[in-house]
A and B are shown apart, each in its own frame.
Chain A
Amino acid sequence: MRPFLKVSRRSLIGSLAGATIGVMSFAYPGLARVITNDSRSRAAVPTPAEDKDPTFWSGRVTAKTADHLTVTSAEGTRIVRVAPGPTVWKEFDVSIDAIEIGDSVMAKGEPQADGSLLARPGWVFVNGGQWDGTISALRPGGLTVRRHDGVDRVIAFSSRLQVITAAKQRPVAAGVGALTVGRQIGMVGLGLPDRSLRATRIWIYR
């Protein structure tokens, strides 16, 4: 009797393995990441994945000492060494003391032989956030900005806020006075636990 459908053994095994991984990943979320990360770190020194930029790391702070952070993401865990002094951005230039467990960190620097990342001064960003949209309302000390998909975000003004033009990156003379309802703007700033953003730089598109 001829088989109804010709399938090679290799592709059958591959399909079954793929289906199994898919089912397991659904049944146990994050399982694939936990297992693949472990196999990656068998060299005893944690290193970022080969396809990742080795000079960059981001994730949540899971531990800290006076001079380094343990930063964990879905990609793994890495030590980020931080230079002393106000070398960290967290709305203002602050020291490592201002970083808390659970903070979101992005760092750029030089990868070390031990697998850690020596962050360049000024290149550690904590709880940074970005938002783009149209000003839908003005509020005392801030505004509400509606993204293209209709989601609103409350924006507060930082005391170090700069308002600039998007095209030439030059300060706007009117400052926050130029921010009127209907303006299309973008911004970066400090993300706050209540999901609002304290903007440190706002650029006006038109």
Chain B
Amino acid sequence: MIIDIALPVALAWLGSLFAYSGSLKLIQPAALRIRVIEGYDVLPASAARLVGTLLPHVELAVGALILLTPYGRIGAVAAGALGAAFAIGASAVLARSIHTECGCAGVASGQVRPATLARALLMMFAASAVAIAGSPIPSLVGWPILAAALIPACLTLRRTFVARQSTSPIRSGVSR
């Protein structure tokens, strides 16, 4: 009974988390994403550039795969692999006492903390459980979850737009 509820909840969390995180990363400049990956100091510069460029797209794809398709278990496997990669990165940062942004939520990210590692481990655990015994989320439920997960990115985009508009020469009265 508990499993029947826990597995779809875990799947919905994984899908929404990757959609949320991927969309917030995607709306920040690629150079900033690459800086964040470099801050972990676990990858060579060329690999950090590749990961920083591709990661938001991969996360969004995993989120969509989980929430919108009947291949939720495949998405869970991919989510587990990403969770393992995050766990390794966070462990490496914490073990060396490096203070760096986690990059989990784009510009709203905090520092890498033990909670970052705990979340990555929980992702791995949830993904493993879903991959072994899960069932796909009905698309009627998946679409609203995906839409809700994208709201924070829309709010951030709006705020950046407002900041730029409010300082445009016309609105601020600055003469040039």
Question: Which A residues are closer than 8 A to B by beta carbons?
Answer: 26-31, 33-35, 37-38, 41, 44-46, 59-60, 62-63, 68, 70, 72-74, 76-79, 81, 100-102, 112-116, 149-151, 193-195
Q: Report A-chain residues with C-beta under 8 Å of the C-beta of B29.
A: 62-63, 101-102
Using CB atoms and an 8 Å cutoff, list the residues of chain B in contact with chain A.
13, 16-17, 20-21, 24, 28-29, 31-32, 34-35, 38-39, 41, 45, 96-98, 102, 104-110, 115-116, 118-119, 152, 155-156, 158-160, 162-164, 166-167, 171-172
Known: A30-B24, A62-B107. A114 touches B35 (CB 8 A): no
B163 in contact with A29 (CB, 8 Å): no
**Contact flag A46-B159 (CB < 8 Å), given A35-B152, A79-B167:** yes
The dominant DSSP class at the B interface is: helix
Known contacts A27-B17, A34-B155; A149 and B166 CB within 8 A of each other: no
Question: Which residues from A are CB-within-8-Å of B24?
Answer: 30, 34
Out of A28, A38, A150, name the residue touching B158 (CB < 8 Å): A38
Assembled-state Cα–Cα distance A101/B34 (Å)? 11
Distance to closest chain A CB from B124 (angstroms): 15
Residue from the list B13, B41, B105, B116 in contact with A31, Cβ < 8 A: B105
7 tightest A-B CB contacts, nearest first:
A30-B105, A30-B108, A114-B172, A102-B31, A101-B31, A29-B104, A102-B35
Instruction: Compute how far the CA of A150 lies from the CA of B96 in the bound complex, rounded to whole angstroms.
Output: 9
Whole-angstrom distance between the Cβ of B60 and the nearest chain A Cβ: 15
* Distance (whole angstroms) from the CB of B22 to the closest CB of chain A: 12
